[in-house]
């Protein structure tokens, strides 16, 4: 178990002068060096495409089956604008959650130079991931789908074709929230439309034939109810994880915290990028609120407490944790 401060490595591992993956075997893939984050997983891509198609289907039924044929112009405009705004925000949140780096640890940074730069103190333990040849920061876990170690990894979600980690959790929370809202809105409109059609002639309440209208509405009702339940549960689970500062993996492992917890409202501000504002609900806003490392995490260790070259050589040859001890 690591007893290093939570973000001891965060600032260091982003400095390119310490990342020399060519000295680590296996070397990183060239695909991981690009600027866009995208997971090439067939199942995840299919789930993401299905997600967008289901949202477009709901929009098609809401607009062309229920709102356009309605004789109440104000009702159609208000509900059409509200539904499409929520649908747009849901798809934008999905897009950001899918294409945002969730917090991947630099691949192949288990090098001599990087170990020396950490200036580890006695009693500290570091982990080397044998799968991606990286030094794992505290609370990082390896994802077999992304093939990377992810900081504060909560889970891998095939519906967004990405891991949910510290950098994209906000977008995933917004995605589940907006999908739950449009599902609830669609259910309410389907209920009102059925009532309207029962009172009026079925041939006048839709531009489609009565059997087709009923089938389309039932399918939308089933889809909306299913996703309302699913996304509401996911939204509640994610908010609970943020407020308790405990990821899904840590909760499943019943892992005792070795980090300084940031819970409640402070955790929400950290996850959503600052004090409460409309930016919390904006999937286009970036996360600009960084947690500063403790002072003792950035202070240099005494020369006698730093790992020797021999210890570093032994560590790089192993796939397990190695503690830093006095000679």
Catalytic positions: 157
Q: Is 55 exposed, middle or buried (0-12, 13-18, 19+ CB in 10 A)?
A: buried
Q: What is the DSSP string of 279-320?
A: GGG-TTS----PPPPPHHHHSPPPGGGSPPHHHHHHHHT-SS
Rounded CA Rg of the chain: 25
Q: Is the peptide bond before 9 cis (omega within 30 degrees of 0)?
A: no
Q: Is 18 exposed, middle or buried (0-12, 13-18, 19+ CB in 10 A)?
A: middle
Ramachandran angles phi, psi of 289, nearest 5°: -105, 105
Q: Is 161 helix (H, G, I), strand (E, B) or coil?
A: coil
Number of residues assigned to the chain? 327
């Amino acid at each position: 178990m690591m007893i290093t401060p939570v973000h001891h490595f965060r600032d260091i591992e982003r400095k390119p002068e310490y990342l020399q993956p060519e000295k680590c075997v296996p070397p990183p893939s060239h695909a991981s060096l690009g600027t866009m984050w995208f997971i090439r997983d067939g199942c995840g891509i299919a789930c993401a495409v299905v997600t967008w198609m289901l949202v477009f289907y709901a929009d098609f039924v809401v607009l062309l089956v229920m709102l356009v044929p309605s004789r109440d112009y104000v009702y159609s405009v208000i509900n059409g604008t509200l539904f499409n705004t929520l649908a747009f925000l849901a798809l934008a949140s999905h897009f950001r959650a899918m294409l945002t780096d969730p917090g991947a640890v630099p691949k192949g940074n288990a090098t001599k130079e990087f170990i020396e730069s950490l200036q580890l103190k006695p009693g500290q333990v570091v982990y080397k991931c044998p799968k991606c040849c990286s030094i794992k920061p505290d609370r990082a876990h390896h994802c077999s789908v992304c093939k990377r170690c992810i900081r504060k990894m909560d889970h891998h979600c095939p519906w967004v074709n990405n891991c949910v980690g510290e950098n994209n959790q906000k977008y995933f929370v917004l995605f589940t929230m907006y999908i739950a809202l449009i599902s609830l809105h669609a259910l309410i409109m389907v209920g009102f439309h059925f009532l309207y059609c029962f009172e009026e002639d079925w041939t006048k309440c839709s531009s489609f034939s009565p059997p087709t209208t009923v089938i389309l509405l039932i399918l939308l009702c089933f889809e909306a109810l299913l996703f309302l339940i699913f996304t509401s549960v996911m939204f509640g689970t994610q908010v609970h994880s943020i407020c308790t500062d405990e990821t899904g993996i840590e909760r499943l492992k019943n892992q005792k915290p070795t980090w300084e917890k940031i819970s409640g409202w402070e955790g929400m501000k950290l996850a959503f990028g600052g004090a409460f504002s409309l930016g919390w609900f904006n999937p286009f806003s970036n996360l600009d609120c960084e947690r500063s490392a403790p002072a003792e995490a950035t202070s240099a260790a005494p020369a006698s407490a730093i790992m020797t070259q021999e210890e570093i050589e032994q560590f790089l040859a192993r796939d397990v944790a190695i503690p830093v001890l006095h000679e």
